[in-house]
């Protein structure tokens, strides 16, 4: 290594951005009497002849001639302070801190399921912490001759391998996963995040980087899938297809039958009648002989056995169709 000129240099990196992975000191020639300043969260790497000659991690102010070169001299044995040997060294400052990188699927991932063999579109996003694992590998394979390298420069590479990793972690080696399990991914997002983090860490190790942790902020689906999931959940809650159909019909009356006291009374009558029919069916199953419950009209007045409710006229009638308006009764 050679020392050029009589002036002194201060070899340092004054960070002005939080997302920079490393900074290459502007000169390749180190003068006698130069100082090296290492700040908190930085590592200084002396790099020469295609090799890392030394890595300095302790923060502080160091005299290169007396505190740095002797150390490198004992380590490698070729640095000399006598004249110009023609050898030069590059100094890289590496951001040794964990750097936060937001991530997200650019497009939803198609996850096959028995209900939808072509795949259910699933998207997710969150944050991950990137850190260095091997400086030399990163400089050789990625950075090259660049003087700085930021998270923005590396994000494209990370996002390129992220989608297949997410799909593999969701499927767990299976060819398909049920829709209910897909909808329930958010509840298991911490465990899923740890799996994705471990797999992504293996991929990035090839370029000298690693993932300290990864978290999932949200998992999202198309509107149609979300609505389907809500209907399935409602049906599962009710537990019976017939009851689910009755409740859906009652909901539709509430939306289409208009507002006001009359509409409320009609919905109440429907609710009472359906409840009585469900209860009668349950009692018939448990106790064969039970006194039949007399149906109630919308206003709470006892109705004759076998009468049905007209949702338009809001009264009980004795046929399948209302004699006044012709609407089908229920």
- CATH code (residue 175): 3.30.479.30
* pLDDT score, position 60: 93
212 and 107 in a single domain? The answer is yes
Which of 27, 61, 95 is the C-terminal boundary of a domain?
A: 95
* Higher-confidence position of 279 and 77: 279
Number of structural domains in the chain: 3
Angstrom distance (rounded) from CA 204 to CA 263: 63
216 and 129 in a single domain? The answer is yes
Examine the pLDDT at 251 and tell me if it is beyond 70.
no
* pLDDT score, position 27: 78
**For the residues 193-218, what does the mean pLDDT come to?**
94
Give the pLDDT band of residue 39 (cuts 50, 70, 90).
very high
64 and 108 in a single domain? The answer is no
Angstrom distance (rounded) from CA 89 to CA 50: 10
This prediction has a pTM of 0.61
The 8-class DSSP code of residue 187 comes to G
* pLDDT score, position 198: 96
Beta strands in 105-169 (DSSP E): 109-111, 120-132, 148-150
Is 64 part of any domain? yes
175 and 211 in a single domain? The answer is yes
207 and 313 in a single domain? The answer is no
Would the CA dihedral through 300, 305, 310, 315 be positive or negative? negative
121 and 151 in a single domain? The answer is yes
**Residue 157, exposed/middle/buried by CB under 10 A (0-12, 13-18, 19+)?**
middle
Is 45 part of any domain? yes
Give the pLDDT band of residue 199 (cuts 50, 70, 90).
very high
Angstrom distance (rounded) from CA 214 to CA 127: 6
77 and 191 in a single domain? The answer is no
Out of 172-176, 194-198, 230-234, the most confident range is 194-198
Is 43 part of any domain? yes
pLDDT in tens, 82-121: 444 434 678 889 998 999 999 999 889 999 988 888 888 9
Lowest-confidence region among 9-13, 41-45, 139-143, 285-289:
285-289
Examine the pLDDT at 289 and tell me if it is beyond 50.
no
83 and 152 in a single domain? The answer is no
Angstrom distance (rounded) from CA 54 to CA 48: 10
Percent of the chain residues past pLDDT 90, beyond the cut:
24
Paired with 128 in beta bridges are 101, 214
* pLDDT score, position 166: 94
Q: Helix %, strand %, coil % for the chain, to 5?
A: 40, 25, 35
DSSP 28-79: S-PPTT-EEEE-TTEEEEEEETTEEEEEE-S-EEEEIIIIIHHHHHHHHS--
* pLDDT score, position 18: 83
Percent of the chain residues past pLDDT 70, beyond the cut:
66
The boundaries of the domain holding residue 217 are 99-225
Residues 13 and 23: beta-carbon distance below 8 Å: yes
**For the residues 207-218, what does the mean pLDDT come to?**
94
115 and 215 in a single domain? The answer is yes
212 and 139 in a single domain? The answer is yes
Is 257 part of any domain? no
Which of 95, 113, 135 is the C-terminal boundary of a domain?
A: 95
Is 164 part of any domain? yes
Angstrom distance (rounded) from CA 330 to CA 326: 13
Angstrom distance (rounded) from CA 21 to CA 139: 11
Give the pLDDT band of residue 261 (cuts 50, 70, 90).
very low
Angstrom distance (rounded) from CA 294 to CA 302: 7
Examine the pLDDT at 264 and tell me if it is beyond 70.
no
Give the pLDDT band of residue 61 (cuts 50, 70, 90).
very high
15 and 78 in a single domain? The answer is yes
Is 216 part of any domain? yes
Examine the pLDDT at 59 and tell me if it is beyond 70.
yes
* pLDDT score, position 119: 87
Angstrom distance (rounded) from CA 246 to CA 240: 10
* pLDDT score, position 239: 56
Which of 225, 254, 281 is the C-terminal boundary of a domain?
A: 225
pLDDT in tens, 186-198: 888 999 999 999 9
Examine the pLDDT at 299 and tell me if it is beyond 50.
no
Q: Of 173, 185, 172, 174, give the one whose Cα is nearest residue 121.
A: 185
Examine the pLDDT at 312 and tell me if it is beyond 80.
no
pLDDT in tens, 11-38: 999 987 888 988 888 877 777 778 999 9
* Higher-confidence position of 231 and 290: 231
**CB proximity list for 75: less than 8 A, separation 6 or greater:** 53, 54
* pLDDT score, position 73: 52
Is 50 part of any domain? yes
Is 288 part of any domain? no
Residues 65 and 41: beta-carbon distance below 8 Å: no
Angstrom distance (rounded) from CA 145 to CA 96: 20
Paired with 92 in beta bridges are 24, 45
216 and 123 in a single domain? The answer is yes
């Amino acid at each position: 290594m050679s020392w050029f000129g009589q002036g002194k240099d201060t070899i340092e990196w004054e960070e002005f951005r939080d997302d920079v992975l490393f900074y290459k000191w502007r000169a390749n020639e180190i003068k006698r009497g130069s100082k090296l300043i290492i700040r908190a969260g930085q590592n200084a790497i002396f790099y020469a002849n295609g090799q890392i000659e030394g890595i300095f991690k302790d923060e502080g102010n160091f005299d290169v001639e007396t505190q740095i070169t002797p150390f490198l001299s004992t380590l490698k044995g070729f640095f000399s302070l006598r004249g110009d040997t023609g050898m030069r060294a590059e100094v890289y400052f590496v951001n040794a801190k964990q750097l936060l990188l937001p991530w997200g699927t650019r497009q939803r991932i198609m996850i096959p399921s028995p209900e939808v063999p072509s795949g259910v579109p699933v998207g997710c996003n969150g944050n991950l912490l990137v850190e260095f694992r091997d400086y030399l590998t990163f400089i050789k394979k990625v950075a090259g001759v660049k003087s700085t390298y930021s998270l923005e420069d590396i994000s494209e590479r990370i996002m390129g391998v992220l989608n297949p990793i997410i799909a593999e972690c969701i499927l767990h080696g299976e060819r398909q996963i049920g829709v209910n399990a897909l909808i329930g991914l958010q509840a298991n997002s911490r465990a899923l995040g740890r799996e994705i983090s471990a797999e992504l860490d293996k991929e990035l190790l090839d370029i000298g980087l690693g993932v300290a942790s990864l978290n999932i902020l949200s998992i999202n689906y198309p509107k149609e899938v979300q609505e389907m999931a809500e209907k399935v959940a409602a049906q599962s809650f009710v537990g019976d297809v017939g009851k689910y159909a009755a409740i859906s019909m009652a909901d539709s009356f509430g939306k289409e039958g208009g507002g006001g006291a009359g509409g409320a009374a009609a919905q109440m009558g429907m609710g009472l009648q359906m409840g009585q029919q469900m209860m009668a069916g349950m009692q018939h199953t448990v106790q064969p002989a039970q006194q039949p419950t007399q149906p109630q009209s919308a206003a709470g007045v006892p109705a004759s056995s076998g009468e049905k409710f007209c949702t338009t006229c809001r009264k009980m009638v004795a046929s399948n169709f209302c004699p006044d308006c012709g609407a089908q009764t229920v």
